[in-house]
Each structure stands twice: as structure tokens, then as C-alpha cells.
Amino acid sequence: MPIELHIMSEEPPVEKLKLAIVGKEKHGKSRLSATGRKVVLNHDFDNRAEALQGMKGVVVASYVDPQWPNQPDAAPKFLDVVGRLEETLDLHDFGDLIKGADKLPKGTIVKTNVVDSIQTMGKAFQNYALFGQGSLRREISIGKMKVFLPGGWDAWNAEMTPVENTILRLLALPTDTILILHETPEETEDSTPDKKKFTGKIGVYPARYQRLLKYVNELWRVQLTASISKNTNKQVYTPKVYPLPDHKFDAATTMFLDPIEEPNIEEMILKHRRIAAQKGLLSQTTLQSDAKVLPMTASKDVKL
């Protein structure tokens, strides 16, 4: 494959989204990712497809390891799907890998890949490595069942290396890529398991996944935020997106966004493109019909 050249003055805004979403559990990360450009393919490692029920233009592929004593297979199945995505983005052609995919209409093209979540994806790769290589693990027997635990740094490397490599393969695809990570209070350098100390800032969990953030351009935090309901005039908590850095989290964005945004990725991209056009960075004609940019109207065209 030849080296790819980008003339940045000619690149349209947000041609390809490389986004990491960070937040606490049940704060709206998965729902936010499902508002990406359609068709959204959610690679579900958390076995929570029901969380996206009713969302149009979203397809979920769930990867679940079988129970002991069967060999874990979520990781190799995911690699098979990634390999197929490198050949075609038409989900109709995935019937032999994803049950029911061949029933989707021909031309069901993936525009957004979501890994939900990175932590559980990493666990799938670790499970596969520990099962196949006894030198990487410690074993605990519970009745007739065996539990495999990491036996040292090689076990963690056996997790991180395929996670990192697979993410790089996804990012190379001509689709948007969204990585979902969990947050945790950031610990100080002198923090210990017995006496934890915190910086007051938010980091990703587990901390080793911090190294993945260098591959994305957008790093947003999602948080349930208090507001007053217009209907009931009572306080409610709804997900909000924080794409700009603050005193708690080092968010990042290359887009023209406000400190707090409503959880809709398509609308956020469109807002950015409108402002870019106002600043002369994107022509009005291009804003309306730039064929190089993944279509903003895709969600209206997808019959799913």
C-alpha cells in the first residue's frame, strides 16, 4: 500500500471522524455513539444490544465468549469481521460472519464503526490469549470450572497489542470510528493500592488505555447533567457532551463546538460544517453537496 498524501488546505471538514467517548457507566455513551453517521455498526462486547433498541440506522454485532470449558471466540470472530470490513463495507455480505446480515438490503453501507466498549474488547483478547497459552496465566479451580488470571506483564501485552493493532485497522477504514471508554478518578504518581491519592481530574479506565487516545482527533466526555424540564419544571438529569477541556478532563476537538453540546453527533458535525462555511473554510456549495464527505443526510436514507 503506498503512502497516502493529504493536502490539508483541500481537505473538507470532518471527512472522517476519529472519536473517543469517555464517561461513567449508564451516562449515555452508547446512545451518543448511535447518533453517528448512518449506517452505524456497533461492535457490542458488553452484551447490551438492548440499550440501542429502537434507534434507526443502527446495527449491532454482539461478541460473547462461550462458557467454560469452551474456548473463547469473541476476539477471533471480531478479527474476522474487521478483515471483512477491509474488503467491503456492505453489511449484506457479512451473512457468514454475522447472523442475519444477509437479510439486510444490498447496499447497507457502514459509515460508522463503534467499539463498545474498549475495556471489554480487551478482556476478550486477554481471555483468548490466556486460554491458549498456559505460560501467560495463573489458574484457579472453582469446582469443575477453571478461572484464568493474568500471570504477568506478558499477559497484559497479549491484551494490549491486538487491541491497539485492531483499532489502527478500524481507523484506516473509510468510515467514522468511535471508541467507547470508561472513566475513573485520576491517581497521583505516588498513589498506592493501600493508600490511593487522586489529582482531582478524570482519566480513562483502565489507565493503560490512555495510550490509545493518541490515535483519535476527538476526545469527548459524556456526563448526566442537571437541567430544568420545560414540561414539568422539575430538575432532571440528561446526557450532555463536553468536547472542550476543563479543569476535570482533558477533552479535545478539532471542530467548532461549544463547551456543552446536546448528544447528537450528526448535528454536531453539521454545526461544525456550517461554522466552517461562515469562516470561509468551506464553501456553501460544498456544504450542501460535497461528494467527498460522508453524507449528512444518510440517516434519512437508511431503511433500517
Over residues 138-155, the pLDDT tens digits come to 999 888 888 898 998 898
Q: How many CB atoms lie within 10 A of CB 86?
A: 12
Q: Dig out the grid coordinates for 53 from the structure.
A: 433498541
Concatenated DSSP letters for the chain?
Answer: -PPP---GGGPPTTSS-EEEEEE-TTSSHHHHHTTSSSSEEEEESSS-GGGGTT-TTEEEEE--PPPTTSPP-HHHHHHHHHHHHTT--BGGGGTTTSTTGGGSPTT-B--EEEEE-HHHHHHHHHHHHHHH-GGGEEEEEETTEEEEEE-SHHHHHHHHHHHHHHHHHHHTSSSEEEEEEEEEEEEPTT--SSS--EEEEEEEESGGGGGGGGG-SEEEEEEEEEEE-TTT-SEEEEEEEE-S--SS---B-SS---SSB-S-HHHHHHHHHHHHHHTTSS-HHHHHH-TTSPPTTHHHH---
pLDDT at res. 239: 95
pLDDT at res. 286: 59
pLDDT at res. 6: 74
CATH topology of domain 15-189+196-263: Rossmann fold (3.40.50)
Q: Dig out the grid coordinates for 273 from the structure.
A: 460544517
pLDDT at res. 12: 64
pLDDT at res. 233: 86
Q: Which residue ranges of the chain lie beneath pLDDT 70?
A: 1, 9-13, 283-304
pLDDT at res. 304: 59
